[in-house]
A and B are shown apart, each in its own frame.
Chain A
Amino acid sequence: MATEILMPALSPTMEEGTLAKWLVKEGDTVNAGDIMAEIETDKATMEFEAVDEGTIGKILIEDGTEGVKVNTPIAVLLEEGESADDIDTASSAPPPAAKDDSDEADAPKSAPAEAKAPATPKSDTSPDWPEGTEMQSMTVREALNTAMAEEMRRDDTVFVMGEEVAEYEGAYKITQNLLDEFGAKRVIDTPITEHGFAGIGVGASWGGLRPVVEFMTWNFAMQAIDQIINSAAKTLYMSGGQMGSPIVFRGPNGAAARVGAQHSQDYAAWYAQVPGLRVVQPYSAACAKGLLKSAIRDPNPVVFLENEILYGKSFEVPKMDDFTIPFGKAKIWREGSDVTIVSFGIGMTYALEAAEKLAEDGIDAEVIDLRTLRPMDTDTVIKSVMKTNRCVTVEEGWPVPSIGSYISSVLMQKAFDYLDAPVINCTGKDVPMPYAANLEKLALTSTTEVIDAVRQVTYR
């Protein structure tokens, strides 16, 4: 049957174009791939090739015609044995273009899933371990180390790779003794090539392994952020659920002390923005251990943000055979009735210190540790604010935008009627980190700032 040749779309945005010049005439024979015409789009002049073989029976749109809509018939192609008389038999209806359903009634709601919080927040405040469990004092460093060792004993496919993780036993000694116990096959020193080894880690996770990739600090992971986001976080979605990336990226995040602008940055808000990632930023040793074990078992890519200053800090950790903490469950460190202080990671040190000092003045603060930023347990925050009616957030990252600004927006939407004062976000200052000791101190948030913010929201 004679087929109509239609005005082609030659770019993702083309709706119409100019039929600049025919390079064939009626009666010419064309083969697939032959150039038939030149067509001008808004961007360029394109050559238009034949897809089928046949004879040009009729040219319907003349050279130089402007504004020819995509899918308008421009010529008729005859197959072997057909004549121009057959042209009438060609269908004149253009084939259906891709359906535009942007205004369909059943189009998905534009609001993100997280915003659909229930009217009454469902907050899981169950304890992380059973009452009466024997406890031991442990640093955050030991907790992270133990978590990895336990998971490596449990699962042969878990391996650790990164700079200085094996023979040097970790730049911050988080991987101490792992090489001894698990050998060079499973504890792998990499060259200083974050981009490359992050990608190799993601590929290995697709190939059936459970990589734990250590970045000496998260600052260096900027070299690898494409692999973390484009390769690890998006593959499950892009593959329609066929393949996921069970990988943990971990290392110290945020300011240490006097290491300058390029080595002092909190990536919490950066990674928390990315669907497909889990983002964890623990404060205590128990949380670090329970959450890292969960991270290694999780089938999704996990960004695990540690803190150098917290590594040496000791906490009580439960003595249990298998202790894990689920993602998306905040921890209330201190109950109170006057104000809710929300923080995570090292911000918790300011939050808790401020709460103690405020208590001396009779201000009773509730302190919530988010622990995981994606998924984020905003229900526990909402429930707390419904009780205290005031909220201050604390983090070391920059303010534009921050985890605190997101919490503020959630509270506006979900607890507006309960707020007696605007939410205040205590954040790092909107500047690169300076080196000078006095300036660095000013650039970070502090216990004093948290206390001042609480006084503002409580009008006391």
Chain B
Amino acid sequence: MAARKSTKKPNVSAEELKQYYRDMLLIRRFEEKAGQLYGMGLIGGFCHLYIGQEAVVVGLEAAAEEGDKRVTTYRDHGHMLACGMDPKGVMAELTGREDGYSRGKGGSMHMFSTDKHFYGGHGIVGANVPLGAGLAFADKYLENNRVTFTYFGDGAANQGQVYETFNMSALWQLPVVFVIENNQYAMGTSQQRSTSSPDIYHRGEAFGIPGEMVDGMDVLAVKEAGDKAVAHCRSGKGPYILEIKTYRYRGHSMSDPAKYRTREEVQKMREEKDAIEHVRDLLISGGHASEEDLKAIDKEIKDVVNGSADFAKDSPEPATDELWTDIIADVAPQNA
């Protein structure tokens, strides 16, 4: 893959590296736990795990500033954890409980946090792309110098509304980073079988939107590309496209037997490209952390994740009168 790689010696501090390790590990362990709770019937319906793609959101969150916005599709747990939402609230939403971010009414695919500027969790492939541009439109209108990260997949990249949005975003110079998380499979259809030209980031050229491909298994490369994209948007030059090559280890959703790719392909990615192992190696080889240090982090994360699972199991189901609330607002809650 011709993706950008951070070949030079990592220009990051030990603390930053440790933070990336911690943040990525939290997502991985959280998702494994979610898969387990799904297996136990505590999580229902659709559940799309982010395992394998952790470096994408962790790298880009490292490039974000306070007040920047993010909006994504239904594979959203990683984005929520990376932007600082509470694992307890996320897990409790997965189990459909009162203490979930949406009080149990949204589920895995529909969570929001106005505090953390996370604007969902959207279930219709491609639909969140104009929504993200709309958030950026509001920021430009209000002149508040914010940037919106609009995440979507290689599958969504073939939806018509994505190009409607590219056009208007470029026309109106909206401060939006379009993040294409190319995990190479749109559900069960490989990119080769669904996409006429393989390099999706080139598609912005027709609209005058610069883009680049990034190695999504390398958190430092993602951070570096994120910094560049954010600087572009914040300087008023309009949108920017990052096509981030990544890989999901699990099926599309929990009920996906994943027969469209070989076990060897998945295993090879895990063994050779894993983003968490990469940072782990950097920490150890650079002398920034010992095995013991990392073990302590592992333990800390495990406790957080187990705590979130216990919380999510203990939280009660929403009161039945919740069925009838939050349909019509008296005041717009985000402006209240």
List the interface of chain A (C-beta within 8 A of B).
6, 8-12, 14, 32-33, 35, 41, 43-47, 49, 51, 70-71, 95-99, 101, 106-108, 113, 157, 159, 185, 190-191, 193, 195-209, 226-227, 230-231, 235-244, 246, 275-276, 278, 299-300
- CB pair A241 B110 closer than 8 Å: no
Q: Which residues of B contact A199 (CB under 8 A)?
A: 127, 129-131, 133-134, 161, 165
Tell me if B287 counts as interface (CB < 8 A to partner A).
no
User: In the bound complex, do residue B120 and residue A236 qualify as a contact, i.e. CB atoms below 8 Å apart?
Assistant: no
13 pairs across A/B with beta carbons < 8 Å? A8-B38, A9-B40, A46-B256, A200-B165, A202-B130, A202-B131, A203-B136, A206-B131, A207-B136, A207-B137, A209-B137, A231-B131, A238-B106
Partner of B168, one of A45, A95, A200, A278: A200
Nearest B-chain residue to A276, judged by Cβ:
B327
Complex interface: stretch among B42-50, B230-238, B240-248: B42-50
Q: How many whole Å from B140's CB to the nearest CB in chain A?
A: 9
B288: Cβ under 8 A from any A Cβ: no
Chain B residues whose CB sits within 8 angstroms of the CB of A107 once the complex forms: 320
CA distance A425 to B178 in the complex (A): 50
Interface residues of B in 92-126 (CB under 8 A from A): 95-96, 100-106, 110-114, 119-124
Among B1-9, B29-37, B179-187, the stretch in contact with A: B29-37
Contacts of A70 in B (CB 8 A): 39, 41
What's the minimum C-beta distance from A326 to chain B, rounded to whole angstroms? Answer: 13
Is A239's CB under 8 angstroms from B171's CB? no
Query: In the complex, which residue of chain A has the Cβ closest to the Cβ of B169?
Result: A200
How many interface contacts (CB-CB < 8 Å) are there between A and B?
A: 239
Report yes or no: B168 in contact with A207, Cβ–Cβ below 8 A.
no
In contact, B168 and A243 (Cβ under 8 angstroms): no
Q: Given the known inter-chain contacts A209-B141, A238-B120, A242-B113, please indicate yes or no for A10 contacting B39, CB distance below 8 A.
A: yes
Per-residue interface assignment for chain B, residues 289 to 323, with 1 indicating a CB less than 8 Å from any chain A CB and 0 otherwise: 00000000000000000000000010001001101
Binds A, one of B16-24, B56-64, B197-205, B328-336: B328-336
Given contacts A12-B44, A45-B257, contact A243 B36 (CB under 8 A): no
Kindly name the residue among B35, B104, B171 whose own CB sees the greatest number of chain A CB atoms within 10 A: B35
- Chain B contact residue count (CB 8 A cutoff): 85
Establish whether residues B327 and A11, one from each chain, have CB atoms under 8 Å apart when the complex forms.
no
**Interchain CB contact under 8 A, B167 and A209:** no
- State the majority secondary structure of interface residues on A: loop
B161-A195 in contact (CB<8A):
yes
Check A244/B329 contact, CB under 8 A, given A9-B39, A197-B164.
Answer: yes
CB distance from B246 to the nearest CB of A (A): 16
Report which of A159, A201, A203, A237 forms a contact with B132, defined as CB distance below 8 A. Answer: A203
Residues on the B chain within 8 Å of A236, using CB: 326-329, 333
User: Which residues of the other chain, B, contact A35 by a CB distance below 8 angstroms?
Assistant: 263
Return the chain B residue nearest A327 by Cβ. Answer: B328
* B12 at interface, CB cutoff 8 A: no
Please give the distance in Å from B230's CB to the nearest CB on chain A.
18
CA distance A96 to B45 in the complex (A): 17
Q: Do A241 and B326 touch across chains, with their CB atoms under 8 A apart?
A: yes
Quick one: given A108-B323, A193-B167, A206-B131, are A239 and B106 in contact (CB under 8 Å)?
yes
B187-202 contacts to A (CB < 8 Å): none
Find out whether the CB atom of A300 lies under 8 angstroms from the CB atom of B328: yes
The minimal Cβ–Cβ distance linking A111 to chain B, given in whole angstroms, is 11
Bound together, the chains give a CA A278 to CA B141 distance in angstroms of 26
The reply to whether B254 and A10 form a contact with Cβ atoms under 8 Å apart is yes
- A6, B317: Cα distance in complex, Å: 24
Of the listed residues B46, B139, B250, B333, the one surrounded by the most CB atoms of chain A closer than 10 A to its CB is: B333
Q: Are A299 and B254 in contact (CB under 8 A)?
A: no
Choice from B36, B51, B127 contacting A230 with Cβ under 8 Å:
B127
Give complex CA distance A226, B131 in Å: 12
A192 nearest CB neighbor, chain B only: B164
Q: Establish whether residues A276 and B328, one from each chain, have CB atoms under 8 Å apart when the complex forms.
A: yes
CB <8 Å contact, B133 and A203: yes
A285 to chain B, nearest CB (A): 27
* Contact of B206 with A by CB under 8 A: no
- A33–B326 CB distance below 8 A: no
Q: Are B42 and A98 in contact (CB under 8 A)?
A: yes
Q: A239-B102, A240-B326 are in contact. List 11 more A-B contacts (CB 8 A).
A: A8-B40, A12-B254, A33-B32, A51-B32, A98-B42, A196-B168, A200-B130, A231-B122, A241-B329, A242-B333, A243-B114
Report chain B residues within 8 Å CB of A197.
130, 164, 168
Contact B334 A242, beta carbon cutoff 8 Å? yes
B273 within 8 A of A: no
Most chain A beta-carbon neighbours within 10 Å: one of B104, B136, B164: B164
Inter-chain contacts of B249 with A (CB < 8 A): 33
Contact between B127 and A226, CB atoms less than 8 A apart: yes
| Residues of chain B contacted by A226 (CB below 8 angstroms) | 124, 127
